[in-house]
Amino acid sequence: MPKIQAPSIAEHRELRRHQLISAAMELALEGGAEAVTVSAVAQKAGLSRSSIYEYFSSSADLIADLVVEELDYYTARLAEAIKDATDPFEKIELWIAEGLRYVEDGRHMLVKSLNTVSTPEFRKEEIAMGHRRLISPLRQALSETGIKEIGSAAAFLQSVTDSASTRIDAGNDAELEIQNAVTFALAGLRALSR
C-alpha cells in the first residue's frame, strides 16, 4: 500500500489531484490541449497511469478541470482589477482593459486550446457556471449604467473585445489596442445609457 504524504487520506487525495492538475496545466501551456494525455500527465506528475483514473474518468475530464481552473483564475483576475471601482463605467473600463491584458500575456491561448476538446457531458454545467461567474460583474456593471438592453450591450462589448484581441494577437501594440477598445466601448455604452 502506498504511503500517504499528508495528515489525512482526504488531504492526500487533494494533494495528488493538485499534482495531476499542475502537470496537466504545464503540458497544456507547453503544447496545447493535445499534449494533455493520460500517459503524459502521469509521466509528468511521476505517478502511474492507472492512478489518474482514481481522480479523472478520462483526459477530457482532466481538461474540463483545467478549463474550470482557468475560468476561476481569470474571474479572480478580473475581480481584482475592478474591486476598488464604484462607478459602473469605470468598472467596465477596468474589466475590458484587464481582459485584454489577459490576451496580451498569452494565457487566452490556453483557453482557446482547451476549448477544442469536447468535455464530458457531466462537466458541461460546471463549465457553463464558470462562464456565468466570469461575466457576472460585467453584466452587473452594465445594469448599473441604466442601459435597458443588457444582452445587446454585452454583445456589443464582446465584438469590441474580440476585435481588439485579434489585433493584439496579430502583434499590434497592446496598450494602444486596449486604449482604443475602451474608448470606443465606453462611448457606445454612454450613448446607449441615455
Please give the pLDDT value at position 34: 86
Average pLDDT score over residue span 100-119: 82
Decide if 63 contacts 33 (C-beta within 8 A). Answer: yes
Flag the least confident range among 2-16, 136-150, 173-187: 2-16
User: How far is the CA of 78 from the CAs of 14, 90, 115, 137, 163, in angstroms?
Assistant: 27, 13, 20, 9, 19
d(CA 90, CA 141): 9
| Residue pLDDT, tens place only, 65-77 | 888 888 999 999 9
Average pLDDT score over residue span 38-67: 89
Interior angle at CA 157, CA 162 and CA 84, nearest 5: 110
5 confidence band (pLDDT: 50, 70, 90): low
Decide if 102 contacts 108 (C-beta within 8 A). Answer: yes
131 confidence band (pLDDT: 50, 70, 90): very high
User: Grid coordinates in use for 175?
Assistant: 496598450
Flag the least confident range among 68-72, 74-78, 85-89, 177-181: 68-72
18 confidence band (pLDDT: 50, 70, 90): confident
Average pLDDT score over residue span 143-151: 95
In which residue are the cell numbers 481569470 written?
74
Higher pLDDT residue, 42 or 109? 42
Q: What is the pTM of this model?
A: 0.82
What percent of the chain stands above pLDDT 70?
A: 97
3 confidence band (pLDDT: 50, 70, 90): low
